[in-house]
Amino acid sequence: MTTPTKIIFDTDPGIDDAMALLFIEASPALDLIAVTTIFGNSDIDTTTRNALYLKRRFGLKAPVYKGTDKPLVRPRNPSPTFVHGENGLGDVELTGLVPEQPEAKPAHQAIIDLARQYPGEVVLCAVGPLTNLALALQADPEVASLLKSVVIMGGAFGVAGKPGNVTPVAEANIWNDPEAADQVFTAPWKLTAVSLDVTTQVVMSPAYMDALAAGGSDAGGFLNAISKPYAAFYGGRDGIVGCCVHDAAAVAFVIDPTLFTVRRGSVRVVTEGIALGQTCQKAEGELFGPSAWDDQPIQAATIAVDGERLLKLYAETMTAKHG
């Protein structure tokens, strides 16, 4: 048995965030050492409350650190309540909810401190807007060399799947803070973007979610319940039967990168104009004249996925933990 990988989960819970968080907690391959929260699917107070609720309800040991409440330079976009509900978790009743407080330290400082405490050991998995990561880079640029790697759920490269989900060319996490995203993609750490190119190709069907709940566990039942409004949104907008595996796909990459095919190259994010939030990769080895992609770090973007294996990994991991 190999030593579990230490992971910080930067998240804006969020229905698919909850699916991913419980996946991390259930996986013997991962050691969750912190949850850091960010605005996105809801405002920062709601996402932090949801993280604390999930921690208490499902017995997570990791501390929760509250992140920033707004993007680096622009106003916060309205919360997508039509996707995640007013409470961020599909408006299911949050049974046993009690007021709790996160750790006193801000999220970006927690990221820095944990990277320094465990140099070369920590994977930072970020599935919301990337503002906490940008703030960590600004406060301590060395954090880029101290983390083992960064895996984000974000971006869309137009190779497969959907080229955007909030505009024709932009994915929500990047669009919510494009300036932060550009800083994160151009930082000298090892980064992989698990993009809409793959996440929109993997769907948890109603039957799949019912099977997760069939074991009778609280986790399976909860995930099945919150998946229903999420699936209704996808069905109404995209004609999908079920819900796309967005954030849990990023966790799956940390557990088993062989599920994915990646393309390597420098990535820039559009920060103004009609293509705001678009992620643009210059594939490694392509030759052009001088451009904004020159002399930037080579990062990875997912362009294909073995969806069947990914769904099998998720179901087996959850069932083994929760029965």
- pLDDT for 42 equals 93
Region of poorest pLDDT, from 160-169, 217-226, 276-285: 217-226
Task: For the chain, give the number of residues.
Answer: 323
Residue 122 belongs to domain spanning: 5-322
Question: 3-state SS of 236-298?
Answer: HHHCCCCEECCHHHHHHHHHCHHHEEEEEEEEEECCCCCCCCCEEEEECCCCCCCCCCCCCCC
Q: Is 12 in the active site?
A: yes
Q: Are 144 and 137 in contact (CB under 8 A)?
A: yes
Q: Is 218 in the active site?
A: no
CATH of the domain at 185: 3.90.245.10
Q: Which of 12, 17, 197, 306 is catalytic?
A: 12
How many Å apart are CA 307 and CA 198, to the nearest integer? Answer: 8
* 15-26 vs 44-57: helix crossing angle, rounded to 10: 40
Average model confidence (pLDDT) across the chain: 93
Average pLDDT over residues 284-292: 93
133-148 per-position pLDDT tens digit? 999 999 999 999 999 9
Could you tell me which of 65, 64, 72, 10 has the C-alpha nearest to residue 41? 10
pLDDT tops 80 at residue 127:
yes
- pLDDT for 237 equals 63
Q: Are 134 and 150 in contact (CB under 8 A)?
A: no
Task: Kindly indicate the confidence band of residue 94, based on its pLDDT and cuts at 50, 70 and 90.
Answer: confident
pTM for the model stands at 0.96
Number of domains composing the chain: 1
Q: Which of 84, 108, 246, 322 is catalytic?
A: 246
Bigger pLDDT: 87 vs 70: 70
